[in-house]
Amino acid sequence: MDVLSIPTILTLTALAVTLVTCVFKLVFIGLGNKGKYHPVAGTAIDHLLNFDRLHDYMTEQANKYKTYRILNLFKSEVYTSDPANVEYILKTNFPNYGKGWYHYGKLNDLLGDGIFTVDGEKWRNQRKISSYEFSTKNLRDFSSAVFRTSAVKLAQKVSEAVTSNQATEIQDLFTKSTLETVFKILLGVDLDTTSEEGMLFSSSFDEANAVTLYRYVDVFWKVKRFLNYGLEANMKKCIKVVDEFVYKIIRNKMEQMSKLRDDSRAMKKSDILSRFLEMNETDPKYLKDIILSFIIAGKDTTASTLSWFFYMMCKYPLLQQKIAEEVREATGINQNSSIDELSNSITDDALDKMQCLHAALTETLRLYPAIPVDGKCCLSDDTFPDGFRVRKGSAVAYQPWAMGRMESLWGDDAEDFRPERWSDENGCFRQESPFKFTAFQAGPRICLGKEFAYRQMKIFSAVLLATFRFKLSDEQRTVKYRTMLTLHIDGGLHVNASYR
Ligand code: HEM
C-alpha cells in the first residue's frame, strides 16, 4: 500500500506526463523548426533524477553544449554558460529577461514582493532606495563596526573549542553569525540565534527556503499547496513563523520611531528598516517583503562562501599561512596583540592591502558560487547572440557553477583552486568580466551587497586566520554540497583549530 501512496502516485504521474509531453515537444519542435532552437540535452526528469548532484550533472551538459534546452511539462528551459549569451540576457536585452510569473509564482509565498521576486517599477523603486542606502558612509561605518564585533564573538567561540579540545562545526557558526549581523544592520535588532525564538525563526526560514527550491523540480507543488499536503503544508507553517517574527520587529520599530520622532536629540538610526521608516514607508507587508529579500540575500550567501573558503584553507595550509601573514602585515599587529586589538586594526586601508585574501575568496566563489544557477524568464520571443531562438515564456538560466569549471573559459587548470589566477604581475587583484565570473550576477541587477559581502568575509576571515590555524577534523571525511536556494556544505564543515 505504501508503494501506492499519494506522493508516489503523483510523482509517477508527473514523470509519465512529463515524458510524453517532452517526447511530443521534441518531435514537434525538432521537425517544425529545425536548427533554430538550442539543442535538447534532456528533460526535467533528468534534473529530478540527478537532484543530489545537480550542478555536476549540469556541468557535464554544459561541457557538451554551451547553451542547451531541457524540456519541461509546460515550457522549455534554456541553460547557458556562454559569456556572450550571459551578457545579452543580463545587460544588452535586460528588459526582456525578468523574474516573470514563473519565478515570481514560486518565490512569492516566502519573499512576497521583495527586490528578489519583482520586475519593472516595483523592482526599480526598491533598487533605487536600497542602492542609495548601501552607498552611504553611515551604513558603511555602521556595518564595519557590526562585522568587527561579530568577528570577535566568532573568535571567542572558536577559542572555547580550542580550550576544550573540541572540533567546531564552522558552517553553523557562520550561518548564525551572518544572520545576527544581517539582523543588526537591516533591523537594528540584536538577534540571539541560540534563543528558542531565534532558533525557531532560523530553522523555519531555512525550511521554507529549501521547499521553495524544491518547487523548481516538483511539477505538482501547486496541487500540494492547494491540498495543504506534505512539504507544502510544512512550508505554510514555516512562513507563518517567519512572517510573525518579522512583523513583530517592524511593529516595535514603528512604535520606537514614533516615540523618538518628537525628540530632537534622538540619534539618527543607521539600520535599513529605520531608514525606510524615516522615508515614511509604513506599509508593514511591503517592509516585511523588502527585509526578507535582504535576509535571504545576505545570510546564506556569505555564510556558505565563508564555509567553502575555510574548507579551501584547510586543504591548502601553505596558502592559509600566507594569508595569516598578509593580515598581520596589513594590520600591523604583533604576536602579543589581543583579538580585540586585531579586530580594531582592520580598517578600510588594511582591508585594501589584503589582496591575497581577496583573490582566495574570489577563487572560492568561482568554484563554489553561493547561487550556482540563476534563472530568468524570457518575456518575448528573441534570438540570442549565438543565432538560436528563444521562445516567450521559456525559463532562461546562466550557470555560475558550470561556468566556473569550464576549461574553455579558465584554461586547463579550471578545476584547480588557484587564487593567483586573480593577481596581476604586482600581486594586485585583477577583475574578470562579470559575464564570465558570474557569482554576483551582472548588469543592472548585479548583487547589491557585493562590496558589503567582501568586507564582511574579509573581516571575519582576517580575525580568524590571524589568530588560529585550521585543519579538517577527523570526522570530516567527505565534503558534499547541498543546494537550498543557495549552496551549502552537506552536514556542515567540522574543523579543528589551534592558536598560531
Ligand atoms: C558572497 C556573497 C553573495 C553572493 C555570492 C551574492 C550573489 C548574488 C546574486 C547571484 C544575485 C542575483 C540573484 C537574482 O537573480 O535575483 C544577488 C542579488 C542581490 N544581492 Fe547578493 N550576493 C551575496 C551577498 C549579498 C549581501 C551580503 C547582500 C546584502 C545584505 C546582498 C544583496 C543582494 C540584493 C539586494 C540582490 C538583489 C538585486 C536586484 O535584484 O536588483 N547580497 N546576489
For residue range 269-305, list pLDDT tens digits in order: 678 888 888 877 788 999 999 999 999 888 889 999 9
Q: Are the CB atoms for 453 and 305 separated by under 8 Å?
A: yes
Residue 251, Cβ density class (10 Å: 0-12 exposed, 13-18 middle, ≥19 buried): exposed
**Residue 175 scores a pLDDT above 90:** yes
Average pLDDT of 380-387?
A: 96
Alpha-carbon gap, residue 124 to 126, rounded angstroms: 6
Q: Which cell numbers in the block locate residue 177?
A: 553569525
Our answer on whether the CB atom of 307 is closer than 6 Å to any ligand 1 atom is: no
323-334 pLDDT, tens digit per residue, is: 999 999 999 998
Grouping H, G, I as helix, E, B as strand and the rest as coil, residue 44 is helix
| Displacement of CA 443 from its chain's centroid (Å) | 17
How far does the centroid of ligand 1 lie from the alpha carbon of residue 8, in Å?
36
pLDDT at 83: 98
457-470 pLDDT, tens digit per residue, is: 999 999 999 999 99
Our answer on whether the CB atom of 434 is closer than 6 Å to any ligand 1 atom is: no
Nearest to 177 by CA among 160, 207, 156: 156
How far does the centroid of ligand 1 lie from the alpha carbon of residue 440, in Å?
6
Our answer on whether the CB atom of 370 is closer than 6 Å to any ligand 1 atom is: yes
**CA distance readout (Å), 161 to 134, 166, 499:** 35, 5, 11
Our answer on whether the CB atom of 447 is closer than 6 Å to any ligand 1 atom is: yes
Which atom of ligand 1 is nearest to 376's Cα? Answer: 15
Q: Which cell numbers in the block locate residue 357?
A: 585574501
Residue 16 phi, psi (nearest 5): -65, -45
- For ligand 1, atom 21, the nearest C-alpha belongs to 447
Our answer on whether the CB atom of 127 is closer than 6 Å to any ligand 1 atom is: yes
Label residue 26 by pLDDT band (50, 70, 90).
low
Which atom of ligand 1 is nearest to 185's Cα? Answer: 30
Q: Are the CB atoms for 386 and 83 separated by under 8 Å?
A: no
**Residue 3 scores a pLDDT above 50:** no
**Residue 267 scores a pLDDT above 70:** no
Cα dihedral 238, 241, 247, 248, rounded to 10, equals: -160
Grouping H, G, I as helix, E, B as strand and the rest as coil, residue 484 is coil
Percent of the chain with pLDDT over 90: 69
Alpha-carbon gap, residue 77 to 93, rounded angstroms: 18
Which atom of ligand 1 is nearest to 375's Cα? Answer: 15
Residue 428, marked binder: no
Choose the most confident range, by mean pLDDT, from 6-10, 428-432, 437-441: 437-441
Q: Are the CB atoms for 363 and 421 separated by under 8 Å?
A: yes
Which atom of ligand 1 is nearest to 365's Cα? Answer: 5
67-105 pLDDT, tens digit per residue, is: 999 988 777 899 999 999 999 999 999 999 999 988 999
How far does the centroid of ligand 1 lie from the alpha carbon of residue 127, in Å?
12
Our answer on whether the CB atom of 377 is closer than 6 Å to any ligand 1 atom is: no
Q: Which cell numbers in the block locate residue 482?
A: 547541498
How far does the centroid of ligand 1 lie from the alpha carbon of residue 456, in Å?
14
pLDDT at 18: 52
What pTM does this model have?
Answer: 0.91
How far does the centroid of ligand 1 lie from the alpha carbon of residue 90, in Å?
14
Nearest to 330 by CA among 314, 344, 359, 351: 351
Which atom of ligand 1 is nearest to 134's Cα? Answer: 29
Label residue 4 by pLDDT band (50, 70, 90).
very low
- For ligand 1, atom 35, the nearest C-alpha belongs to 448
Alpha-carbon gap, residue 164 to 398, rounded angstroms: 46
How far does the centroid of ligand 1 lie from the alpha carbon of residue 370, in Å?
10
Ligand 1 pocket test, pick from 146, 301, 403 with the greatest ligand atom count within 8 Å of Cβ, gives: 301
- For ligand 1, atom 43, the nearest C-alpha belongs to 447
Our answer on whether the CB atom of 453 is closer than 6 Å to any ligand 1 atom is: yes
Which atom of ligand 1 is nearest to 400's Cα? Answer: 10
Residue 237 phi, psi (nearest 5): -65, -45
Alpha-carbon gap, residue 145 to 245, rounded angstroms: 25
